[in-house]
Structure 1
Amino acid sequence: MDRPSIPGQTGYLTLNSEGAVLTSGGDLHNDEKTAGILHGLITVAQDRLDPKAFKQSFKRLTVMFDDHAYVVCLSNRKTHIVKRQLVVPVN
């Protein structure tokens, strides 16, 4: 499956609804540890959000670090994770 090029992308994961890795590449190739941590974070976030405060559950979550971020999107019972550099080098 061809993935669109995202500026600064260094890796990706696709997880099923149970958190198992379906596809991966780049820095996150077969990175089940990161998959488990981010899947757990999503589970905690979904359990902790007050359903009265929001009309729907979240669809995207970003986890920021100094030099990179994980962008997590939920779609069609799958979790799509992209690891991106925050400062994209100029070629």
Structure 2
Amino acid sequence: MAATAALTQGLERVPDQTGYLVICDGAVLASSGDLENDERTAGVISELVNTACAFRLPRCPRVVFGEHSFLVTISGQKLFVVKRQNSVREPVIV
């Protein structure tokens, strides 16, 4: 339990997060929320990161969809993935 808490420290404090994954070698080490036990998403993100490693990308890639984003941070052999709700911007009326 303490090992899992150390892995996920800080992930739950990301603003507007709806879930997270900690992945190592394609296996889910920890998960929560919308990504709880989501092996399929873990596999897709692992493949995405492996492919992206062939290119020069920002240290923390971000995959943006309409309503949410996946933020990925790589540390050692682990991938830390946070699913985050995108903030909806109100239209500006001039």
Distance 1:45 1:85 in 2: 23
Count of aligned residue pairs for this structure pair: 80
Alignment TM-score, normalising by the size of structure 2: 0.77
Match of 1:79 in 2: 79
Among candidates 3, 24, 30, match of residue 9 of structure 2: 3
Q: Which amino acid aligns with 1:10?
A: T
Residues 28-43 of structure 1 mapped to structure 2, 5 A cutoff = 28-43=35-50
Structure 1 runs of 4+ off > 4 angstroms?
none
Please report the RMSD computed on the Cα atoms of aligned residues, expressed in angstroms: 1.7
Give the C-alpha shift of residue 58 in structure 1. Answer: 4.9
The residue correspondences of 1:1-91 to structure 2 (distance < 5 A) are 1=5, 3-4=9-10, 5-16=13-24, 18-47=25-54, 49=55, 58-87=58-87
Unaligned segments of structure 2, at least 5 residues: 89-94
Which ranges in structure 1 are unaligned for 5 or more consecutive residues? none
How far apart in 1 are the matches of 2:80 and 2:34? 15
C-alpha distance in 1 between matches for 2:85 and 2:23: 21
Aligned to 1:69, the other structure's residue is in SS state strand
Q: Is the 8 A contact 1:59 1:75 kept in 2?
A: no
**Quick one: higher RCO (CA 8 Å, sep 6+), 1 or 2?**
1
Q: Which structure is higher in helix share? A: 2
TM-score (norm 1): 0.79
Deviations 1:62-82 (A, max 9, x none): 000011000000012100000
